Amino acid sequence: MFKPSNKKMLTVLISLAMVFSALAVLSIATQPAYAQTASGLFATPVSVTITSYFNVTDPNGALMTTTAAEYMPSSGVYTVYAYGLNPADTYSLTDSGASSSASVLSVAIGTYYASTGLFSSASNGTLIFRYTPMYSDTLSKGISETIKLSNATAGVPGYSGNSYGYRTIGKVTVSSPGYLANGGAGTGSQTFSASDLIPAGSTVCPGIGSEYNVYIGSTELTISGSTVVTASGSFTNPVLASGLYNLSIVYNGQAVSSAIFIEPVIISTSASSPVRLNSACSQFSWQ
């Protein structure tokens, strides 16, 4: 049997060792660079791009987008959520409807600087706060207001490209009735006519509505066959004693004490003509 000499065997082993060494060097050269940690492990460097954005929600957590802008009262409260901000920057909120009485109610994450009206995020780039615009009650119904967040150089984009805002609620006025016609309670048809009611079916913030109830005193009126009012209509004088009462309008299902409109009216069955209380509420005038 052939037996290789020790010298030849050593030569073969050395050759094989050189081949494997070359392969190992080649393999290491083709791998990405790794950084060795203190524990002896290797970590791959990672590059991450952070995109900032914000959104605005109503008290129920619904997004207040301008494409489906909901009606919100002057004292309504919304929450701003912003992420990916630069902690070294300061940010401002712009609400096109806000008055000088507007207020930052609370800051959950981040900082508000009352002296400048600016915000800064937490170290993780998050800013969350609650705000009320307190817009003027002289604004007409349905004005579209916008909400924006920006730093000194650029605006923060809305989440998924959304823009945010709300619609104003106008100050309700009633042109009729100013009095209840003479003839006795339970008789006579009266016209109810009000302006700046929120259109029926509109998107609204929690706590308000686009349907109303109307009361004289504590007696709910049935207007055009329904106690739920969405527009002008007619009603029959309620069965009430002569005297001074409040005509009140409330959002459907709410108590009279939550009225959004109150005007004094008179029920009179003894006068020869209807009696109306003038706007100064200081004297009676005969119609």
Summarize pLDDT for 50-98 with one digit per residue, the tens: 789 999 999 999 999 998 899 999 999 999 999 999 999 999 999 999 9
- Identify which has the larger pLDDT, 92 or 182: 92
* Lowest model confidence (mean pLDDT) among 39-43, 104-108, 206-210: 39-43
> Is 261 part of any domain?
yes
CA of residue 121 relative to chain centroid, distance: 20
Residues 160 and 203 in one domain: no
Lowest-pLDDT choice from 83-97, 198-212, 231-245: 231-245
Q: What is the DSSP string of 143-180?
A: -EEEEEEE-SS-BPPBGGG--EEEE-----EEEE-SSB
Residues 232 and 136 in one domain: no
Please state the pTM of the whole predicted model: 0.72
The pLDDT of residue 154 is: 93
The answer to the question of residue 144 being in a domain is yes
Pair (57, 161) in one structural domain: yes
How many C-beta atoms surround the C-beta of residue 76 within 10 A? 23
d(CA 144, CA 152): 25
> How many structural domains comprise the chain?
2
User: Is 163 in the same domain as 73?
Assistant: yes
Looking at 167, 184, 200, which one is the last position of a domain?
167
- The helix (H) or strand (E) run that includes residue 109 is strand 103-109
User: 96 and 140 share a domain?
Assistant: yes
Q: Quick one: pLDDT at residue 129?
A: 98
Residues 146 and 196 in one domain: no
Distance CA 126, CA 78 (A): 17
Q: Kindly report the average pLDDT of the chain as a whole number.
A: 80
Share of the chain above pLDDT 90, in %: 53
Task: List Cβ neighbours of 27 (8 Å cut-off, separation of 6 or more).
Answer: none
DSSP 49: -
- On the question of pLDDT at 215 being above 80, the answer is yes
CATH number, domain containing residue 138: 2.60.40
Give the pLDDT confidence score for residue 6 in this predicted structure: 56
236 domain-assigned: yes
Q: Strand order of the sheet with strand 144-150?
A: 92-95, 144-150, 164-167
Percent of the chain at pLDDT above 70?
72
Say if residue 202 is in the same domain as residue 274: yes
Asked if residue 11 belongs to a domain, the reply is no
User: Residues 107, 113, 117, 120: is their CA dihedral positive or negative?
Assistant: negative
Number of CB atoms found within 10 A of residue 242's CB:
15
Domain housing 151: 53-167
Give the number of residues written for the chain.
Answer: 287
- Check if the beta carbon of residue 234 is closer than 8 Å to that of residue 189: yes
Q: Which of 167, 189, 220 is the last residue of a domain?
A: 167
Show the DSSP H helices in 66-202 as ranges. none
For residue 27, the model assigns a pLDDT of 44
AA letter at 5 = S
Q: Is 2 a domain residue?
A: no
CA contacts within 13 A on the Cβ side of 21: 6
Q: Is residue 243 part of a domain?
A: yes
Are the C-beta atoms of 66 and 146 separated by less than 8 Å? yes
- The verdict on 212 and 237 lying in the same domain is yes
Instruction: Spell 199-214 as b/e; 16+ CB within 10 A means b.
Output: eeebbbbebbbbbbbb
